[in-house]
């Protein structure tokens, strides 16, 4: 919804972009040294030329994702029905399969994992027959669903749920990653089953336990943490505090 760092000018493509003061509302303004045009973080986003506050849009989108009708979501978000329908069409256009654009020239990819619903977990695959609870397993359990994530330095991102369980193979990674980045891009990732998926791109591979991994993988780690938080908040999973799972504990 908002771009915080511009790797290149959205008008001429030049990389000479610098900060150029702020708007009256406190938003950061940028200026291109090549073409001289100024712009803000709303350029090329759904918030461009919008008179509605981002908080109202986020609330309306959140209610729509929870299954609320468009009329109720607009009423609770304090926006008109006409504005709500307009933004609903904008978001539908963003996620439609025919509008997937290439990612930027610098990208990061990684997988994160969420627990499968209990009804999808078979007793012989990590769930006790007597208690119905999951058994603790060493390593990556087959009851975990992989989510393939990617971000770039221009604010674009994607997250796709995998079809299998546990650690994905090369073919499944190929299905979700191949074609997302232009040839010649720089892709940073940890050691995984990627094979020749990023052929034609410059790859920076690092061990996730190494000292430099924190700085190299920070953009994708922040995004995967956000994905995890969305799942935990949606499922009402609360943090364990002082040995108890109480309602007073803060959400992830």
Give 3-state DSSP helix, strand, coil % of the chain, rounded to 5: 30, 20, 50
**pLDDT at res. 189:** 92
Contact in structure between 105 and 7 (CB atoms under 8 Å): yes
**pLDDT at res. 12:** 79
Closest CA to 189 of 144, 159, 220: 220
**pLDDT at res. 237:** 54
Cβ atoms < 10 Å from Cβ of 162? 18
pTM of the model: 0.54
**In the structure encoding, which two tokens stand for residue 25, read together?**
């509302």
**pLDDT at res. 148:** 93
Pairing mode of beta strands 106-115, 186-190: parallel
Instruction: Please report, for the chain, how many H helices and E strands are present, in that order.
Output: 6, 8
**pLDDT at res. 117:** 65
Q: Please report, in tens digits, the pLDDT of each residue of the chain (252 residues total).
A: 566 666 678 787 777 888 888 877 777 888 888 888 888 877 767 777 777 777 888 888 888 878 788 888 888 888 888 888 888 887 777 666 555 557 878 899 999 998 876 555 555 555 555 555 555 554 557 778 899 999 988 888 888 888 888 888 899 999 899 888 888 889 999 988 888 898 888 999 988 888 888 889 999 999 999 888 888 776 665 544 444 433 333 333
């Amino acid at each position: 919804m908002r771009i915080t760092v511009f790797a290149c000018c959205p008008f001429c493509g030049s990389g000479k972009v610098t900060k150029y003061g702020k708007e009256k509302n406190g938003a950061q303004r940028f200026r291109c040294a090549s073409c001289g045009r100024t712009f803000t973080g709303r350029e090329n986003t759904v918030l461009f030329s919008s008179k509605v506050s981002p908080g109202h849009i986020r609330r309306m989108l959140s209610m729509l994702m929870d299954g609320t009708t468009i009329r109720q979501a607009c009423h609770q978000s304090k926006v008109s029905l006409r504005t709500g329908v307009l933004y609903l069409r904008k978001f539908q256009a963003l996620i439609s399969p025919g509008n997937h654009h290439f990612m930027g020239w610098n990208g990061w990819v990684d997988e994160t994992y969420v627990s499968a619903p209990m009804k999808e977990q078979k007793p012989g695959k990590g769930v006790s027959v007597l208690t119905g609870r999951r058994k603790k397993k060493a390593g990556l359990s087959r009851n975990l669903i992989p989510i393939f994530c990617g971000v770039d330095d221009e604010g674009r991102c994607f997250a796709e749920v995998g079809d299998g369980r546990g650690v994905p193979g090369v073919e499944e990674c190929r299905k979700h990653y191949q074609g997302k980045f232009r040839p010649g891009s720089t892709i940073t990732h940890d050691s995984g089953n990627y094979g020749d998926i990023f052929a034609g791109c410059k790859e920076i591979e690092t061990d996730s336990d190494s000292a430099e991994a924190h700085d190299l993988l920070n953009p994708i780690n922040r995004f995967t943490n956000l994905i995890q938080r969305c799942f935990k908040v949606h499922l009402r999973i609360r943090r364990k505090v002082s040995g108890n799972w109480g309602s007073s504990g803060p959400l992830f």
